[in-house]
Structure 1
């Protein structure tokens, strides 16, 4: 009996040695080891994680918003907030005059060809008048009727109830990307274009606190600026603002040499009336950027396309007069500066991301909601300066599907391609597998080296 027990013990020891040897061989076979990129951090907190837990508004902002809602006494606030949210989500850009002209000429040509086949005895002038009338009627029917939104005091409160928490969550998530990947960055100044309720001020204050010494909010709506200032003062005109050195303007600073460490444009480009105005505004915002330009839009195809147009303009075009010669480079979320692969696929969903948040408490609303948004961060620094770890990492562009012993990851890669990769510990190393399993939509993952046969098309 003693000899059997001894033999069993020897077998156990051998099994342990074999497992340890295999682990050592596996680590040597995979270049992406824990030593390479984890820097001692646990897998769930690897350098590519940028996701945030369910966000709440800062307590001071939450209390001030509730006080404003209570004092305003807007009838049917919940229903009006829901309707405004739906309208803003489905909102499109104004149709360009050149696009309308091309559409009208094409339609007119088709109608003339049809008319020639069955013209009969109709006078040509009468026929021309009829065709023009049909063209105008068809354009009115099929063209999105864009009109600027004019916020008065009451509509401002409705907008606050609908969008304060969601807008804060989106901007905070975007700014967290900078804070996580460039921890030494300590901005002293901020410019918020289309500032609305001042959510960028609150989000940036949470990220960098007293480092910020000057924050300029620019919004063309006087009532919206007044409401944002009320929120800063806790809905008490005599109180000191919770965040100091915040200045409200209705127009951008005139001097082209005045720059800010961080410039934010959240849900504002889509509210400009034409592509020309968007382009001019983009160049103005970039001129005023000394470090980071942060743009956020709805996570719709429209919002994504607006951001990709902005990306291409600032990367490829240059103004005649340049005050800061440092070129633009993409910081996030794109891991490359090639054409967006999603735009190349007509049926592909837009590149967007999710952030959970707690909304303002309104009757009939759930305690948690999801903000779906698209964002773009450009920097004047070289990518290697601001982002040594995640420079060549892919971006997760869909929820991670966790299965027994494998994980499905849909990624946008540094080579400009979309990939659907099935990550396993055997193929990609234990560390990469555990990092993938701990990651989620919007995070970054190290490049996964594997044979071409293991990579599936992202459309599958």
Structure 2
């Protein structure tokens, strides 16, 4: 079931707040402002690496972690809809940062027992280990600093592999190498996530085309069928309540005296590929906001064959009532739900 808000788990929120409170506030907020500007540039051209020291990691925690968590949580929620009885026990998080993937995975699947987090930045790993040890129970976690394009996890297999906001930092050849290695280490599902920008959506499109011959396209695609979305962006939103530390940053960045909003919406694109099949076939997935027109609703829907804008007439009361409550990202199990 998709959630309107995907907020940081309380214990993680508290652990981050406590860590930031021990630091010089003006320093990490100033770094966060610079980091925001740098990331806006990177999301346009897909280039750049801006984590250079411990202060940058603190800035990342304050600025980016809530939205990154929300993205991963939103994706895993959609995957769980397709395979509701699956209970993964092991996780490999590639380009893990401070371990955001573990936190989201544990919320969706409490069955997770072990996790391996790999990142090239030692400061991410040290901070992640501190936060996870304090706030996350019953997950045995291994932290590894290494080049993510040359994985050194031997022949280990993991039920779930997550690669979140990583491919945009790599060349095309590096992406292919990493995807091949990651898939080989997956015994269940591999999930790739990118920002919901034109650049991120394009990466996900190419990734889906690369992996379709290897396994089942579980989500967001329907019934293992790739649909070209070059004319439409297949991406999704996830809202979250801003923690106090993020509200402070956003308030500092405002040019007016008005208070920053309590909530935020992040956009993401993703593909989930499985060595296991979906538990049921569905007709479609909502890939845009429900648009209310005079006398009907428009539901932008991804099916196994195409991207279709379904018109649901108001006089068809049952279908109209169903359609008006649909969420962007939600699956539609049968066409009869919206087509009279």
Q: TM-score per shorter chain, which class?
A: 0.7 to 0.9
CA distance in 2, matches of 1:387, 1:266: 25
Q: SS of 2:212's equivalent? A: helix
Q: Is the 8 A contact 2:103 2:136 kept in 1?
A: no
Q: Is the 8 A contact 1:425 1:431 kept in 2?
A: no
Q: Equivalent residues in 2 for 1:119-158 (5 A)?
A: 146-158=47-59
Q: Is the 8 A contact 1:329 1:381 kept in 2?
A: yes
Q: SS of 1:183's equivalent? A: coil
The match for 2:163 is: 265
Q: Is the 8 A contact 2:286 2:328 kept in 1?
A: yes
Query: Which is higher, the Rg of structure 1 or of structure 2?
Result: 1
Greater mean alpha carbon deviation, residues 355-364 or residues 253-262: 253-262
The match for 1:110 is: none
Q: Does 1:445 align with 2:332?
A: yes
> Of 71, 79, 91, which residue of structure 2 is paired with 1:178?
79
CA distance in 2, matches of 1:176, 1:208: 10
Q: Equivalent residues in 2 for 1:269-348 (5 A)?
A: 269-272=167-170, 274-316=171-213, 327-335=214-222, 340-343=227-230, 345=231, 348=232
> Of 258, 263, 286, which residue of structure 2 is paired with 1:368?
263
Q: What do residues 328-368 of structure 1 show as CA deviations (whole Å, max 9, x unaligned)?
A: 1111112255554321x3xx4x2211111012213214210
Deviation at 1:214, TM superposition (A): 1.0
Q: What do residues 294-333 of structure 1 show as CA deviations (whole Å, max 9, x unaligned)?
A: 11110001111111111111124xxxxxxxxxx4111111
Which runs of 5 or more structure 1 residues have no equivalent in the other structure?
1-49, 94-143, 235-239, 317-326, 455-460
Deviation at 1:89, TM superposition (A): 4.0
TM normalised by structure 1 equals 0.65
Q: Pick the structure with more helix per residue.
A: 1
RMSD of aligned Cα (Å) = 2.6
> Of 111, 116, 120, which residue of structure 2 is paired with 1:216?
116
The match for 1:254 is: 152
CA distance in 2, matches of 1:60, 1:255: 30
Q: Does 1:422 align with 2:311?
A: yes
Q: Pick the structure with more strand per residue.
A: 2
> Of 297, 302, 306, which residue of structure 2 is paired with 1:412?
302
CA distance in 2, matches of 1:337, 1:232: 35
CA distance in 1, matches of 2:273, 2:319: 28
Deviation at 1:410, TM superposition (A): 1.2
TM normalised by structure 2 equals 0.86
